[in-house]
Amino acid sequence: MSSPGPAKIPQHVAIIMDGNGRWAKARGLPRLEGHRRGVETVRTVVDAAREIGIRYITLYAFSVENWKRPTDEVSGLMGLLDYFLKRELNNLIKEKVRLHTIGRTDALPANVQRELDRVKDATKHFTDWNLVLALNYGSRNEVADAARAYAEAVQAGREKATDASWERFSRYLYTGGLPDPDLLIRTSGEQRVSNFLLLQCAYAEMVFTPVLWPDFGQADLQAAVDEYGRRERRYGLTTEQIKTGAK
């Protein structure tokens, strides 16, 4: 009997955390209570990712479109972010997790920016485990910002327009220096990517689960990783080429 071989663990998992509002509504609670429970899930998932061996976990915490939500929900989310950063700093240091952010974070409230800088600075020397928070993030804005930065680099003579390639351009994305996600998970049964890491997920496997984010736990993350392990990533090659390693 052949052995199953070592489990395939994705290096980078990106998650669209969805369903906080529905979780709260089903219990007759205010939406913010769903977000509050969602923050607890963030802690659970960051710990579970490390236990599984996932080195990078990126969470879509606040999109550019989320500013359009009712003002009390937006300020509630900012308050939760501030609370999370204050509460998690010691834990992240203890577990040697580096915090990164992607998105236009300069538009976040000043107190949140201060906490983000503090936590990023205190964890910047860690390399093994990485938590990436997408905040005021939108993939199309990211491309526009990168194009502007790239054009400025061309004008300043640091890049040549004729040398443009994905390898060179992608360094100007917010994710420059981070590996592409191998697996994208969306909770709550929705099957959309909602302007999240559109270019970086070009080859990502996608897993959609009906579980609402506040109910998502270690077993659900493990199930998504198991599903990823069963998929064959071909990058345009044939199954035969993958098996034989032929070019």
- Site residues (CB under 6 A) for ligand FPP? 17-22, 35, 38-39, 42, 59, 61, 66, 77, 80-81, 84, 133, 188, 213
Say which of 47, 66, 180, 215 is annotated catalytic: 66
CA-based Rg of the chain, rounded to a whole angstrom?
19
Contact 174, 191 (CB under 8 A): no
Q: Which is nearer to ligand FPP, 23 or 228 (CB)?
A: 23
Q: Which is nearer to ligand FPP, 62 or 172 (CB)?
A: 62
Whole-angstrom Cα distance, residue 130 to residue 133? 10
Are β-strands 97-102 and 129-137 bridged in parallel, bridged antiparallel, or unpaired? parallel
Are β-strands 205-208 and 183-186 bridged in parallel, bridged antiparallel, or unpaired? parallel
18 is annotated as an active-site residue: yes
DSSP one-letter code for 4: -
Q: Which is nearer to ligand FPP, 38 or 181 (CB)?
A: 38
130 is annotated as an active-site residue: no
DSSP one-letter code for 140: H
Nearest-approach distance from CB 84 to ligand FPP, in angstroms: 4
Tokens of 97: 């997790």
Spatial neighbors of 90 by CB under 8 A, at least 6 apart, are none
Active site residues per annotation: 18, 66
